[in-house]
């Protein structure tokens, strides 16, 4: 059973990119999926060998809450045919299940390549977004964090430090708790602080990626959140984020 899909409370408030899209015009990158062939001048979705197995936390929902070791546990990711989405310019790409689609929108007048890729499942539900661009504003959430897992992304090791991680964490407690599965610059700090929070830097700008839900609080409890994280859907999204790479 799936929880309500991905809320959009991103660590990146992409105000600059959104303004560019609204005021300077945007171009649509061809949607990519199992039955869509993108033209050669646009990002292409091509079959690819499965990425390295994605790290997964233990399946026991009662596992300790703060065990962000930064080491990849044994994989339980489902094996499935994958496709690859490549951003304009060919520098960044990621893998996704072959029956998922990717819609890319880019600002045609931005001084650097600015693209938001929206990933959808076969039912049309938005599962994740991946953004590359020149600017992003940092917004730190409220309350303390509980970091369940934070794993370095091998394909982004060439980017400036701190190394990009895929992090699964909770902000706040009780009814106010918010859960995040996203790309972070290093392991998230236990206490959010906009003065020290950093976004993942590329050599030209910034890179952001996260799972998104269509309601602010998709999980009724911490146990439900952990169960989702260990479900096929959670593992697929983890694998997608961990497959991000810079060439």
- At 181-226, the pLDDT tens digits run 999 999 999 988 877 788 999 998 999 999 999 888 999 999 999 9
Contact 40, 246 (CB under 8 A): no
- Domain-embedded: residue 50: no
The residue-averaged pLDDT of 53-65 equals: 34
Beta-carbon contacts of residue 96 (< 8 Å; ≥ 6 apart): 82, 83, 84, 85, 102, 119, 240, 243
| Secondary structure of residue 231 in the 3-state scheme | coil
CB atoms closer than 10 angstroms to residue 143: 15
Confidence of residue 6 (pLDDT cuts 50, 70, 90): very low
For residue 181, the 8-state DSSP code is E
Q: How many domains does the chain have?
A: 1
Characterise 65 by phi-psi region: left (phi > 0), alpha (psi -120 to 50), beta (else).
alpha
Share of the chain above pLDDT 70, in %: 65
> Does residue 53 belong to any structural domain of this protein?
no
pLDDT tens sequence across 92-146 = 999 999 999 999 988 777 777 899 999 999 999 999 999 999 876 555 556 789 9
Domain-embedded: residue 6 = no
Inter-axis angle of helices 222-229 and 232-242, to 10 degrees? Answer: 60
Q: Across residues 222-235, what is the average pLDDT? A: 97
Task: Please check the confidence at residue 55 and state whether its pLDDT lies above 80.
Answer: no
Has residue 67 got a pLDDT over 60?
A: no
Cis peptide before 162 (omega within 30 of 0): yes
With CA atoms as reference, report the closest residue to 47 among 105, 78, 86: 86
Strand ranges, E, within 33-143:
45-48, 82-86, 92-97, 101-107, 115-120, 126-133, 137-138
Is the separation of the CB atoms in 227 and 235 below 8 Å? no
- Looking at the whole model, is its pTM more than 0.75? no
The pLDDT of residue 85 is above 70: yes
- Largest alpha-carbon pair distance within the chain? 50
Domain coverage including residue 87: 12-41+64-70+79-246
């Amino acid at each position: 059973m799936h929880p309500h899909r991905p809320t959009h409370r991103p660590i990146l408030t992409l105000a600059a990119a959104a303004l560019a899209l609204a005021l300077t015009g945007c171009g649509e990158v061809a949607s990519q999926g199992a039955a869509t062939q993108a033209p050669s001048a646009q990002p292409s979705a091509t079959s690819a060998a499965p990425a390295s197995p994605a790290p997964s936390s233990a399946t026991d929902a009662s596992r300790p809450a703060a065990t962000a070791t930064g080491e990849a546990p044994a994989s339980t990711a489902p094996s499935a045919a994958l496709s690859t989405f490549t951003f304009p310019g060919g520098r960044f790409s990621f893998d996704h299940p072959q029956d998922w689609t990717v819609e890319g929108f880019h600002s045609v007048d931005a001084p650097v390549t600015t693209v938001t890729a929206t990933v959808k499942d076969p039912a049309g539900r938005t599962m994740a977004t991946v953004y590359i661009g020149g600017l992003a504003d940092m917004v730190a959430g409220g309350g303390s964090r509980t970091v369940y897992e934070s794993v370095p992304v091998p394909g982004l090791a060439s980017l400036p430090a701190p190394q990009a991680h895929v992090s699964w964490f909770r902000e706040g407690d009780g009814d106010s708790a918010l859960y995040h599965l996203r790309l972070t610059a290093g392991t998230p700090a236990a206490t959010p602080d906009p003065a020290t929070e950093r976004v993942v830097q590329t050599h030209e700008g910034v890179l952001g990626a996260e799972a998104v839900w269509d309601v602010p609080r998709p999980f009724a409890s911490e146990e439900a959140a952990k169960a989702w994280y260990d479900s096929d859907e959670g593992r697929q999204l983890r694998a997608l984020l961990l497959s991000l790479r810079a060439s």
